[in-house]
A and B are shown apart, each in its own frame.
Chain A
Amino acid sequence: MNDKITFTITRRKLTEILMGLIALFFAGGALASILKYLWPPSVAKGGSAEIKIANVDEVPTGSVRKFMFNGKASILLHMPAGFRAFGSVCTHLGCIAYWKPEENLIFCPCHLGNFDPNTGAVISGPPPSPLPAIDIVVKEGAIYALKWKDPSYVKTISFYAGAA
């Protein structure tokens, strides 16, 4: 009695299987990237976990460093008066504001909103409220983000939903 099971596969079929596996692998990676983008890992929501932004010597006076804080684009500024950190999502319509050194302000390009780089307050333009400040600490030669300075304020800004 011959109970031997034989399985034959052509080179062509094997190639097709390998290509299929590569396609699956690629699709899996793409899906994981999309999921990470849609649901970024949230850290320190209202807590006190420290997030390292940069080493002090990497951010000389007058320069900035972008970073993510609780899933929101944020900005660290080294002003003459010291380090400042704010969420850089504009409180008007959610565009990303950036540092404009020549005018010494944080600028939102969508509707020309201007914010004070020392306080985050609105200087001009349509934004209805200031950029939310982030508590930072400098220790051992590095700058760390700690928490929102005013989490209850952050909760009132729709573009910061889930960040506080």
Chain B
Amino acid sequence: MHIEKIEYGPEKEGLWSQVAFALIILLTFAAAGITGLIFWKILSSDAQVASTRQFMEDVGKLFAYLLFDLAAIIYLYVKGLLQDEYVTTLE
């Protein structure tokens, strides 16, 4: 029996990597803002407002924005910070 450890290599370097990292920070703040907005709307709205079609559409749009935001962060994380190759260690 062996344990296989997969670790990513060192971080990428260069301008694209720095830009990706800066974008990740910005998008993270955006994600925090959108998340806060979603739950603030859900928690603070009374039932009469929360049962309207408009409310559900607004919250649905915010969820869609959040999903794209998170997808962008993950894309930048993988493409901008990780090396393409990874190191496999057998123990």
Contact = CB atoms under 8 A, between A and B. Distances in A.
A21 B38 CA distance: 16
Given A22-B35, A25-B32, A25-B36, A36 B43 contact: yes
Contacts of B42: 29, 33, 36
A18 B48 contact: no
Interface in A25-64: 25-26, 29-30, 32-33, 36, 53-54
Interface in B10-49: 11, 17, 21, 24-25, 28, 31-32, 35-36, 38-39, 42-43, 46-48
A29 B35 CA distance: 8
A67 B39 contact: no
Which secondary structure dominates where chain B touches chain A? helix
B51 interface: yes
A15 B25 CA distance: 8
A138 interface: no
A29 B41 CA distance: 11
A127 B72 CA distance: 53
B39 A22 contact: no
Contacts of B47: 66-68, 73
A19 B40 CA distance: 20
Given A19-B28, A65-B48, A67-B47, A11 B39 contact: no
Nearest to B42: A33
B24 A15 contact: yes
B18 to A, nearest CB: 9
Nearest to B22: A11
Nearest to B24: A15
Contacts of A53: 48
Nearest to A67: B48
A22 B82 contact: no
Contacts of B31: 22
B39 A32 contact: yes
Contacts of A65: 48
B77 interface: yes
Given A11-B21, A29-B43, A66-B47, 5 more contacts: A12-B77, A18-B24, A21-B32, A26-B35, A66-B48
Contacts of A30: 39
Contacts of B82: 12
Nearest to B77: A15
A35 B31 CA distance: 23
